[in-house]
Amino acid sequence: MAVITLEFEGYVQCRLATDPDPTDERRGVSGYTFALPGEPDLDWTLYTLPGPGVVARPGVTGRDVGVRVTGGYCGTQPIQKGHPLFGAPIRLEGNPRFEERNYIVTQKTFGVISPFRLRVAGQGIELFRMVDFYPGKPIGFDLLKIPQKVLEPYTSTFVVGYPACLPLLGSSQNPSVYRAERLQALLKLRATEPVYQPGNPQYSADALAALDKRISQLRIDDPRDRRTGQLGNASTWSYALNGPASLRLGTGKPQWLNGSGDESNWTYADPSKPLDPWPCNFWMGCWDADSLTLNMSGTLQVYELGRRFEQWLQSGR
């Protein structure tokens, strides 16, 4: 049985309110994250790919949103440049969010990522699987009604000083220096770009107000403050993707591997013989409170894709 092991990495944007703001705060008032003038409301969604919903902020470089396959194996073949899965986008669908709800869903920081519907779309091959958080209940069962002990395997572990974070901060590998460099970049923009110059035809009061807000936040530099400290921290998750799964090969339609239906009416093919879960282990961290982005890195293992996949693999695709 051929196994696919995918390594993935990239930046995610999540525009969410932070303590002491309530979870559903839409602009940011008392926390340290904000929907700036001219920007849409905070929506809490995890965006793993560029496109609608992602809000770019001037002066941010090296943190373009996009999580993609960076390596691994497909059967015995390494996934490298030229392979159909190399560079394939990793998409989390269904507007996933960090669900913790002031310790109602879980008592761990960042909580559960729900829904967790992962799609990998390579060249001529597409894989999809989701987490069924409460087997035996309908797919999409209300997370707030699931006992915390059932959700425990899907909660995160928070790690202070995660080793992989600091190398993402540039040559200094120092959160304070990283923020100071961002501050200088924004100050340069403010002094030189026409959009920030009153009286210029391109001037925008909203753009200037937004930039000034960011500058004021970057001036707050205390290693104990979350704006700085979270750049070195991360949370880890180990998810068993145990729910509906599908495979698409070539130009055909996706084929369900373990049942039929949709989230509102899903039927497993044979509950007594479930499709083996696909382990997905990953971390998210190096949170940048200015761009509202964080790194996501991990691995996904895929089993039991069936005869069609074995034939596709043997045919050289």
Q: Which residue positions in the chain have pLDDT lower than 70?
A: 1, 101-110, 316-317
Q: What is the pLDDT of residues 147-163, one digit of tens each?
A: 888 998 999 999 999 99
The pLDDT score that the predictor gives to residue 179 is 98
**Structure confidence by residue, pLDDT tens digits, 205-221:** 999 999 999 999 999 98
What per-residue confidence (pLDDT) applies to 305?
94
**What pLDDT is stored for residue 109 in this prediction?**
59
Q: DSSP letters along the chain, please?
A: ---EEEEEEEEEEE----TTS-TT-SS-SSSS----TTSPPP---EE-SSSTT----TT--S--BEEEEEEEEETTEE--TTSTTTT-BEEEES--EEE-TTTTS-SSTT-EEES-EEEEE-SSEEEEEE--SSTTSPTT--GGGS-HHHHGGGS-EEETT-TTTGGGG-TT--HHHHHHHHHHHHHHHHHH-GGGSTTSTT--HHHHHHHHHHHHHHT---TTSHHHHGGG-EEEEEEEE-S-EEEEETTS--EESSEES-TTS-EES-TTSPPPPEEEEEEEEEEETTTTEEEEEEEEEE----HHHHHHHHTT-
